[in-house]
Structure 1
Amino acid sequence: MKLKIFPLLALSFFFLNSARAIGFDKGIDTLHASALKPFGRTIINVAKKLELISSAAHFGFKFSGDSCVIFADVPNAWEHNYLQYEIDGVYQKRIRIDGNKPRPITIKATGKGEHTIWIYKATEAHTGAILIGNIVARKVKALTVPKAPLIEFIGNSITCGAASDTTDYPCGTGDYHDQHNAYLAYGPRVARKLGLNYLMSSVSGIGIYRTWNADGPAMPDVYEHLDFHANTKQQWDFKTYSPAIVSIALGTNDFSTGDGKSVRKPFDDSLFMKRYVNFIKLIKSKYPKAQIAILSSPMVKGAQQEVFEQLLVEIKNQVDALYPQDREVKTFFFKPMDPHGCTSHPSVTDHLILADELYPFYRAMLK
């Protein structure tokens, strides 16, 4: 028990003294986590910290002066995670947070006037939450995400922006999430270009009825759980947001041939369609007014690509027949891609290509 309590006490002591060191006692303002207005799957935990859970979950604030300080940490000493940020509308970089080396994050700005910062979670929910304690700066004030139509992106590692960014760790080095970059994934990119708000509901390796190397849990099994873990009791409150579009990009991992070690049954097209249609039913029960888009995969090619696209058309037809009064389901087929990221994933440059492909598709749906 003492081993579990000590890191928390040390962390609290560190935060207190770090705040004093940067001038907390000299009239600099403090913005507490409970006053932030985050967007994405988040919660305020029992310690009154903001937990950023889903990919690209974000919050904004403005301040005056040439710097601000953010107190962020991760739940365990042996973990690390990543935030990323933009300042005054310009994307900057990722920031690594190490559990065994808690330190305040100082962000420098150009000039001493007023500045706007948006902070994003760079990694996916299964990487673990990032905890935000408070923000210290002059005239610091929380920002609300501007009102705009919302698009929810449901998908796998491609949607997460996994294995896309080798800025800090080349492929084959570090941990899996060391190359995550949710901000520069295709979904957030095309949403920003369209002036939309976005919500990321994505899990690496997941499919509609199986994962890349196992029988499950698949997305329908975890979607209603706060952190996309099937054994998590806390459910996500779907009344939090009301998307105009729900975009589903699942299937890459269902078609996967596996890891070569686990027993892998042949792809089951009937089960794929059944689970996909039932998942869309679930989404419609949560968001009755949302328009549904189902996407193929740039990673599924050749004969599999033809089968995949045919199945999506059949799924669309089945759902449209079940909901004749609703707007029809839209389908989008990616062009095949030779990816340049790690482990056959799109790179951040590849994600820009995917976003540009999708832009006219979503723009037409909004009209």
Structure 2
Amino acid sequence: MKYTYTYLMAALLLLCLSCTAIKTSTNTSELEATALHPYGRFAYNEEQQLELISSAVHFGFSFEGTEARLFASIPDAGGHNYLQYELDGVYQKRIKISGNTHEPLVITAPSGGRHTVWVYKATEAHTGPIFLAKVTGKKVQPLQKPAGLIIEFIGNSITCGAAADPSEVACGTGDYHDHHNAYMAYGPRVARALGTEFMLSSVSGIGAYRNWNSNGPTMPEVYEKTDFQENSSRHWDFETFRPQVVSIALGTNDFSNGDGKTERLPFDSTRFVTSYVGFVKLVKSKYPKARIALLSSPMLQGNSKQTLENCLTAVKREIDEAYPAAQPVALHFFRAMQARGCSGHPNVEDHALLAEELLPFFTKLVSP
């Protein structure tokens, strides 16, 4: 009888431990990267990790309790990169990812209950990818926004939100991407104000027919590549997203005087217009029904500003004549700005002003 009692107690103890294990596994769940719904340019590697590529490419998830963990990494052991995130609709901060650490990134909430998180890549494609293996948390679930309008913003460093945020690393110090803040760039701000989805297709220093200190590769030459790299073998699948509006903001770098080292010929209006028209036709071949919007540059002043506006007007005229049945190309000419960011770029506050200026323009474009 004594041994029967002992065996019974041991069995009850094992059952209790088993109950505890089941409860723990129920409360903590894993969300594999393949279950997420990213917006922007992305890919999956052989390990089925989500590769975040473009500026502000983002995904969302929800969890219960006060903590969730992101298992993120970068391929460069000696480098670093940045994510940034919203918690319950409120922007929080950038998160630095170092290549030599393998600890998960922890997102904490101030109280229990159910929380939503949207995670964004703070940097551009040329900074390098960020890989996400999984998200863990209590009852973690992927988020997907309802089908709706999408705006694609094509452009250069301004569109990237590059050199905009010296809040953690002072201008003139650190690496170029230490000052990136894609979430706060004008495009995402406009999209959030309109309640639309968005994607950024942007590269620092890039132009329509030449770059800031080189003759290429230009945006028309890399746009079809997933990571905007000229020699990349990966081609972006334009069926992934179908934007209703495509905003193109090129020209700042075409007008650049260069780095003072590489030979720089005077700006060629004919080459610029020809290349720009060809690029708009390329975009229209990918998105035949999308409304095209051309933006000037807030960085140019005087004769350069007027010349760019004249060129964009010429581009509009040629495209409208080539596609008479399509909606006409929309133009917006920025007010000149004295930018306050790093290396003459708009800072976070300047981007807020640019978005405020653009909002009435894009409101008309997305209105039925």
Which residue of structure 1 lines up, in the alignment, with residue 258 of structure 2? 258
**Secondary structure in structure 1 of the residue aligned to 2:31:** strand
d(CA) in 1 for partners of 2:44, 2:213: 34
Structure 1 contact 148–195 (Cα < 8 Å) conserved: no
More off after superposition, 290-299 vs 34-43: 34-43
Asked if 1:238 is matched to 2:238, the reply is yes
d(CA) in 2 for partners of 1:66, 1:304: 53
How is 1:16-165 mapped onto 2 (pairs within 5 angstroms)?
26-27=24-25, 28-165=28-165
Shift of 1:216: 0.4
Shift of 1:109: 0.4
Regions of 4+ moved over 3 Å: 23-26
d(CA) in 2 for partners of 1:337, 1:90: 28
Shift of 1:284: 0.6
Letter paired with 1:108: T
**Secondary structure in structure 1 of the residue aligned to 2:169:** coil
Residues 256-301 of structure 1: per-residue CA shift (max 9 Å, x gap): 0000000011111000000000001101100000000001000011
Residues 18-41 of structure 1: per-residue CA shift (max 9 Å, x gap): xxxxx9994111111111111110
Q: Tell me: CA distance 1:24–1:58, structure 2 relative to 1, closer, same or farther (3 Å).
A: farther
Shift of 1:325: 0.5
Which residue of structure 2 lines up, in the alignment, with residue 331 of structure 1? 331
How is 1:8-23 mapped onto 2 (pairs within 5 angstroms)?
none
Letter paired with 1:46: E
d(CA) in 1 for partners of 2:202, 2:142: 27
Asked if 1:223 is matched to 2:223, the reply is yes
Residues 341-366 of structure 1: per-residue CA shift (max 9 Å, x gap): 00000000000000000000011112
Which residue of structure 2 lines up, in the alignment, with residue 278 of structure 1? 278
Which residue of structure 2 lines up, in the alignment, with residue 18 of structure 1? none
Q: Tell me: CA distance 1:252–1:134, structure 2 relative to 1, closer, same or farther (3 Å).
A: same
d(CA) in 2 for partners of 1:240, 1:24: 39
Q: Please give the root-mean-square deviation of Cα atoms over the aligned residues, in Å.
A: 1.2
d(CA) in 2 for partners of 1:177, 1:362: 28
Which residue of structure 1 lines up, in the alignment, with residue 358 of structure 2? 358
Aligned length: 345
Shift of 1:44: 1.2
Shift of 1:76: 1.8
Shift of 1:148: 1.9
**Secondary structure in structure 2 of the residue aligned to 1:243:** coil
Letter paired with 1:337: M
Structure 2 runs not aligned, ≥5 long? 1-20
Q: Tell me: CA distance 1:311–1:110, structure 2 relative to 1, closer, same or farther (3 Å).
A: same
Shift of 1:145: 2.5
d(CA) in 2 for partners of 1:339, 1:102: 38
**Secondary structure in structure 2 of the residue aligned to 1:31:** strand
More off after superposition, 97-106 vs 151-160: 97-106
Which residue of structure 2 lines up, in the alignment, with residue 322 of structure 1? 322
Letter paired with 1:86: E
**Secondary structure in structure 1 of the residue aligned to 2:310:** helix
TM-score using structure 2 length: 0.92
Residues 125-144 of structure 1: per-residue CA shift (max 9 Å, x gap): 00010000111100000111
Shift of 1:146: 2.9
Letter paired with 2:74: V
Letter paired with 2:262: S
Letter paired with 1:331: L
d(CA) in 2 for partners of 1:37, 1:241: 12
Shift of 1:147: 2.2
Structure 1 runs not aligned, ≥5 long? 1-22
Structure 1 contact 39–145 (Cα < 8 Å) conserved: no
d(CA) in 2 for partners of 1:219, 1:283: 11
Structure 1 contact 209–271 (Cα < 8 Å) conserved: yes
Which residue of structure 2 lines up, in the alignment, with residue 204 of structure 1? 204
Residues 192-244 of structure 1: per-residue CA shift (max 9 Å, x gap): 00111001000000000111000000000000000000100110000111111
d(CA) in 1 for partners of 2:314, 2:213: 26
d(CA) in 2 for partners of 1:120, 1:162: 14
d(CA) in 1 for partners of 2:288, 2:195: 23
**Secondary structure in structure 2 of the residue aligned to 1:69:** strand
d(CA) in 1 for partners of 2:136, 2:335: 46
